[in-house]
Structure 1
Amino acid sequence: MADDLRLVDVESKHVDDVYRVRSRSFGLLGAGDREEWLSNMQGFIDDRRIVGVVDGDELIASARIWDFEQWWGGRKVRMAGIAGVVVAPEYRGRGVGSKLMRGVLARSVEQGYPLSGLYPATTVIYRHLGYEFAGGRFRYTFPAAELRSLGGKEVSVRRAGPDDAKRFLEIVGQLHAEARISGPLVWPEAKVAEWLGEENSFCYLADDGFVVYGWEGGKLRVEELVAGSEATARALWSVVGSGSSISTDVEAYMSPDDPAHLLVDKEADKQPTIEHWMLRVLDAPAAIAARGFAPGASLEVDLELDDSELAGNSGRWHLSVSDGVGSLTPSNGTGETLRLGSRGLTALYAGTPLATVRRAGLAWGGAAADDGAIETAFAGATSYMLDYF
């Protein structure tokens, strides 16, 4: 039977099989959700962004590739977001998932993605294929009354809607670049406009910031709040906190480094909800060239990369960083240098301190004198996402 297992492009004829396997993995969808799922499926099929495994003529596993951009060091990098990874129950534990994901990696490289990201149901298979933790989706809970008292009444704030999608993206682009943010996804204007028009989305816009929030399970929940100044941050959080007479708490998806943690008198709940996500460098030179780096960092060092899954990343490379940009070019250098596997490279790319990467056994060799400069180049705020996919 193993000889009959092969990778395929998922086609329209496979959709019923995909849904059957998906239902056994995640449960049945409601009628409305199934319609949306079917609509999305066709786009993945048309763009060859859904890969499957078949046994004979029967599809037994599949995974989708979302076409994303993601902020890294204040610059946008293309990222293949892997989702809907499903394997029929009777085929689990037989290597089908690994075969599927190797096909997904190959397809992502073929389509030119420097990075791949996912939320893991289990880390073992993904670590074996070179993925590593890169950040989290953090949800904090604040007392609503604390937010209401933050002030900011001098800032003009108005209701926003679908026509403001372009301005929302402009504000995000400016502020994320200035703060060298890493992790959040970049969405197309049409999708942002759709969200701003949803009935349960309460959207407010200031000159240098905005907030999107709504009701979730009897609580107010902030999906995104960005502000370019203290006054605007206070004003927007106060708008959310104005619902304190109904909701005693406000949940918020945000970075651990968000200024709100410094503005409120009482800290957020001591047990935030964290969903960790993983990253994988697919094309090392392209990923380095697209990423932003610390503006004051200056670095010239060789690296030896060993990628057992993607041979194009392996070999000796010269890493150069200057004026906030980097490059990775083939090197003819000799001698001992820093060595990294695919997980180590990904962890470093995501801002994990090199000392931590070394202590985890994911980096070795090289001159200790170079470590500080390498850490400085990749350092920045904590990587985070606001969206689950």
Structure 2
Amino acid sequence: MWRLSLLTALARAAPSGEQADLYEPGTQLHYWFAAAETADASALPVVLWLNGGPGSSSILGMLQENGPLLVNATGGLMRNPYAWTKQANLLILESPGGVGYSYCAAMKAGGNCNNTDISTARANRAAVQDFFKKFPELKKNDFFITGESYAGVYIPTLTHEILENAPEINMTPVAVGDPCTDYPSQKESMDMLWYAHKHGFVPDADFEYLWNNCSARHPSFLSRGLWRRSAGRWEATSLSLASGSDEKCKLLNRQFLATTSRGLSQGWKKAYINELNLFSDASALDWELPGTLNYYTAQWMMRADVKKALHVESSPAKSWPGPPDGWQYTSSYNACNNAPGKPSMIDFYRMIAPKLRTTIVFNGDTDPCVSYEGTRTAIEKVGYGVLPGGHYRPWFYDKTAAELKTLQEKPNLFGPNLELQPAGPQFGGQVVDY
């Protein structure tokens, strides 16, 4: 009989004795813990998953990607045969305050949370400490942190916080995917015009004119330095678009917007390009649009019986996943934020990588918000030497590209049968010596 252990509660993110200005006051972070689906769960690693945003609930990753239960096409739940809980204990944290069912004291009084990168790292560290106090039997286990997008800021800063202020936690590897790392390195590869040209949506001549003559820039929504919710939308407080004033600039800019579904918009309800998968239909992200996965996920999370089972009845959040109107987040570093002179995650990797067993930074090649070119440039700046054998290595899932039987039976149409290849990274980026 299949059995799943799910525990959820609110973790204290501002323990007594800490200075008040280090946290958004009265922060309570909602976590969801899923024990590994094995007999030796108590001996397996604890993996903390963090979605980015800022303002995105990590439960999205759990219920739509890596958790033991996934939301299905009818709005119910189904088992996930590829769940991370097949090999590890999974910890999900809704962070920072105001996201999902997490909250701060101001929300109890009808106000809103005002978070920063610094306050978020400190609150998350305190929440992790609180979790291990509740589950001391897991404290000795390896503790992994992984996530994506703006978690590229959350993870290095949280890791540094733990290494400096919570030595009792057994920090081991971290893995950061498609991450906000260093704005100077990533700013051009995070531009929607640049990305659209790279993937063939904009002709070369049009791109050259827009980019060089019109100074046209369409920064990713991740380029904001100050995030604020208003009327159910994100205010683009630090987003500036310069597209030139002559008629040709205006015409080419309109053509770019028309052919790219408003610059691969993630919020336009009439979007006709799936910014998450360029080879499938548009994936509406609106939480209130019936029939979408996000709609079903939100509706399930807001059910009264689910809220009771998750022990979040005390949360003042009026809807999920939030954050509510008035919520604000200020970037503290030069990562997904144009802040010259401030540290970026390059500085944090230099501090944390020597103290960790493994540090992995990886990037896909179809992410319009954080492209691999910028991540590669940023990681090169960290300054570690390249491993012997060169920057790029072949990688094959499950050791080989195909079964031996398949390779042996392959017709000699283009030469001799393929040889079995050794395991390793598959043309997937640089290998540097951490």
Fold shared per TM-score above 0.5:
no
TM-score by length of 2: 0.27
Structure (1/2) with the larger strand percentage = 1
TM-score by length of 1: 0.29
